[in-house]
Structure 1
Amino acid sequence: MLSEKTLVSVGLFVAGFFSLGEGIIGGREAAAHSRPYMASIQVAEGDRVKHECGGFVVADQWVMTAVHCLPTGANGRKVVLGVHSLSLGEDTKQTFDILELHNHPEFNPDNYDNDIALIKLDRPFNASEAVKVVAFLRAGGVNPDTDAEVETAGWGSLDNLGSRPDTLKEAVIQVVRSTRCQRSDYFGKKFTDNMICAHKLCPDPCDRPHKMEDSCDGDSGGPLLYNGVVVGITSNGGKKCGQIKKPGIYTIISHYTEWLDGIMGLRPDA
């Protein structure tokens, strides 16, 4: 039978493990509306709606996200812009129906290759300090090298038990060498040339419950930024977040410039 002292120690450990003080996996709360391009894709659940995936505003009426967020269509989902807290009635909040959904035609559900999608909102958004377009890398642009610091953000799970934050979280992570992510003990052949993998190990001594920073469930569809420009879309990692050999996987946006321009009607020099 466990002693009272042992039970107290176990309780403190569990409380620390499930702490909601950090975000994503090992990240932090973003300053309110400091990432005005962020989108929350929400689905009805009874009389309520819940955050399901992320996205980001790339043009007047367009949001970029991941195919695996809406693989079978919009099905009544809403896109919410201009929010920091998912529960508070913020004056900056704008809610949209999905007018069009364009999933990449070569998306592979077996390994999430070509995991990129475009959502056309039912109307243009009202630009403000809380809702703005973000630039994304086009063909010919320079993607981050191994060990480069990149940023990601979202309202995804804080741990592998699905605890979700109410406010936007962010993390600074590092690009992992592609040849490492292609190793059989990482992702093997499922990792393709259309992908970047990234996370960040907590430096020793590490005082965090999670030993690294990483994206997690619910962050999918959100951005990976390098020097303020979106270079990737949060796609897939392992069955669990924050594992050393299962970094987050991000779709390389610059590989899809022609497809994106064709849908949004952008000129090649736009």
Structure 2
Amino acid sequence: MVSLQENGKHECGGFLVSENFVMSAAHCWKKMIFILPLIHFFTCVYHSVRSVACTLHYSITVILFQLEKPVQRSRTVEWIAIPKTNKDVEANTICSVAGWGKIAFEGPYSSRLLEADVSVIETETCKRDWGNYFSESNMMCAGSDCTCLLQGDSGGPLVCNNTAVGVIAFYEKTCINPPRPYGYTKISAFLPWIEKIMGKIK
């Protein structure tokens, strides 16, 4: 997990996908100057960004930050696998999400990385609940009755079977009986672009 920060303050989540690249939600890019590889607390060294690449596909996109210096693997720092094919994750698969987002709608950001299990939701349910906003080709939904995503959680990964399959993208601004499931950008929908960028940027 990675914290994207502005002026030393957490703003969005992200995650290492290689020693050189961090993936996040595209709407998190503005003014994000430094990135911290973290596990639970804000205790690691800042990494500056060398370059940024962003997809342009409707309003739901992913972004890749290239780091100035490669991140070294350690006991607490590792990058996560992303899909190798565009096969969808089956509904009801148990996955996980994590972030340092707000612990209440008007509350502070969490100082500790919070994690939760969520279940992948049927595509038809997502389409019904989100209407025209939902694009089956590049979005998916997942959630649970006891999971709450709020400001600051955007950009974090949806991890299924040790693979990051989605990026936290959109959600209701309430944790009390949210009327619609949480939405994620499908990483697999952007594989050709991801491979092009990660291969082209040195």
Whether these two folds match at TM > 0.5 is yes
Q: Provide the rounded CA distance (Å) in 2 between the counterparts of 1:253 and 1:196.
A: 10
1:100-154 CA-to-partner distances (Å, cap 9, x unmatched) read: 111112242xxxx2x21100011111221111111011224x4322221110001
Contact 2:4 2:32 in 1 (8 A): no
Does structure 1 conserve the Cα–Cα contact (< 8 Å) formed by 2:99 and 2:113?
Answer: yes
Q: Which residue of 2 aligns with 1:166?
A: 111
The corresponding residue for 2:160 is 226
Map of 2:139 onto structure 1: 195
1:170–1:76 Cα change, 3 Å = closer
Post-superposition shift, 1:162? 3.1
Match of 1:217 in 2: 151
Question: Is the 8 Å Cα contact of residues 150 and 173 (structure 2) preserved in structure 1?
Answer: no
User: What TM-score do you get using the length of structure 1 for normalisation?
Assistant: 0.70
- Cα deviation for residue 39 of structure 1 reads 0.4
Of 34, 38, 44, which aligns to 1:78? Answer: 34
Q: Which residue of the partner structure matches residue 54 of structure 1?
A: 13
- SS of the residue corresponding to residue 193 of structure 2 reads helix
Residue type of the partner of 1:231?
A: V
Identity of aligned residues (%): 31
Alignment of 1:1-270 (within 5 A): 38-44=1-7, 49-70=8-29, 73=30, 75=31, 77-86=33-42, 90=43, 93-108=44-59, 113=60, 115-140=61-86, 142-183=87-128, 186-193=129-136, 194-201=138-145, 212-241=146-175, 243-265=177-199
Structure 1 Cα separation of the partners of residues 107 and 181 of structure 2: 18
Task: Please state whether the residue corresponding to 1:164 is helix, strand or coil.
Answer: coil
Q: In the comparison of the two structures, how many residue pairs are matched?
A: 199
Please list the CA deviations of residues 26-47 of structure 1 after superposition, one character each: whole Å capped at 9, or x if unmatched: xxxxxxxxxxxx0000101xxx
1:155 to 1:81, Cα distance in 2 relative to 1, 3 A: same
Distance (Å, rounded) in 2 between the aligned partners of 1:82 and 1:170: 14
Conservation of the 8 A alpha-carbon contact between 2:3 and 2:38: no
Alpha-carbon deviations, 1:61-100, whole Å to 9, x = none? 1000000111xx4x362100134212xxx3xx13111111
Q: Could you tell me how far apart the structure 2 residues matched to 1:130 and 1:237 are? A: 29
CA distance change for structure 1 residues 242 and 171 in 2, over 3 Å: closer, same or farther? farther
Q: Check conservation: 1:232, 1:253, Cα contact below 8 A.
A: yes
Q: Larger Cα Rg: Structure 1 or Structure 2?
A: 1
State the SS of the aligned residue for 1:213.
coil
* Contact 1:152 1:215 survives alignment (8 Å): no
Preserved CA contact (<8 Å) 1:237 1:248? yes
In structure 2, the partner of 1:10 is none
Whole-Å Cα distance in 2 between the matches of residues 68 and 76 of structure 1?
11
Report if aligned partners of 1:53, 1:219 keep a CA contact under 8 Å in 2: yes
Asked if the contact 1:214/1:247 (under 8 Å) is kept, the reply is no
Separation in structure 1 between the aligned mates of residue 27 and residue 110 of structure 2, nearest angstrom: 21
Measured against aligned partners, the alpha-carbon deviations of 1:231-257 in whole angstroms (never above 9, x if no partner) come to: 000111123245442221111101111
TM-score by length of structure 2 reads: 0.92
Runs of 4+ residues deviating >6 angstroms:
none
